Amino acid sequence: MATIDGRKLDHKALEHMRILAVKRVVEDGEDPSEVMRSLGLCRTSIYPWLRKFREEGWDALVERIAQGPEPKLNEKQRQQVKRWILGKDPRQYGFDFGLWTRRIVQALIEDKMRVELGLTAVGRLLASLDITPQKPLRRAYERDPAAVDLWLKATYPTLRKRAKRLGATIFFLDEAGFQSDPPLGRTYGLKGTPHSRNVRTAPEYQRHQRSHRSWRVLGGYLYRQVERGGILWLSSRTL
């Protein structure tokens, strides 16, 4: 009969087999080796069980799952860490980097709470708070929500009506570009809730980051409407 690997059994199943094996030896007088062979377990495993039973009784055979070390942060402190991160920027706490990392959270906890945590422990803490790594949504500093709302509710409906009257098709022209600096990295945020971060658009970005280069291929709407061959164009200029 093939031997069963006890490490692959769940805790309750292993506890049941441990108690059953000891009972058969202690109460029924069976040979330990035969008991273990009939259960498909390693022959020598029963002897530590018998020794524990003789020293501490049946309670010694009950499965006990190790609880691990005592947490360094209590629940109040854990929730404080969560409040520090959600909706906040590391630069608000004196850091020079705008995205949350485990190392920044580690440094913040040590500075504010005088508690030292390893990076792995910080990762477990964030996961337990439903705070996960996320790629933030890009939002331009120059973005004007009021102007966007006006365009969507007033300007574009008027344009669409005119195109329909002329039997024209509306095309939206966008710009493309490439730059030498690295793209926006990941940060930490509440699970299932995308995090947004403001970034500078090309000309503004170049003024603040002289060490990087960025090229725009096409852009700069002139908003001059040109009717051409049944198509309503929003012309643009090359920059």
Q: How confident is the model at residue 97 (pLDDT cuts 50, 70, 90)?
A: confident
> What is the rounded distance in angstroms from the CA atom of residue 120 to the CA atom of residue 108?
15
Please give the backbone phi and psi of residue 179, each rounded to the nearest 5 degrees, phi first: -145, 160
Closest residue by Cα to residue 87 from 184, 183, 194, 185:
194
Residue pLDDT, tens place only, 190-200: 665 655 555 44
pLDDT of 228 = 46
Q: How confident is the model at residue 119 (pLDDT cuts 50, 70, 90)?
A: very high
Q: How confident is the model at residue 134 (pLDDT cuts 50, 70, 90)?
A: confident
- Is the per-residue pLDDT at 60 higher than 80? yes
> What is the rounded distance in angstroms from the CA atom of residue 106 to the CA atom of residue 116?
7
Q: Which helix (H) or strand (E) holds 37?
A: helix 32-39
- Is the per-residue pLDDT at 217 higher than 60? no
What is the three-class DSSP state of 39?
A: helix
More confident residue, 10 or 226: 10
- Cβ atoms within 10 Å, residue 203: 13
pLDDT of 3 = 65
How far from the centroid of its chain's Cα atoms is residue 91's Cα?
20
86 Cβ contact list (under 8 Å, min separation 6): 131, 189, 190
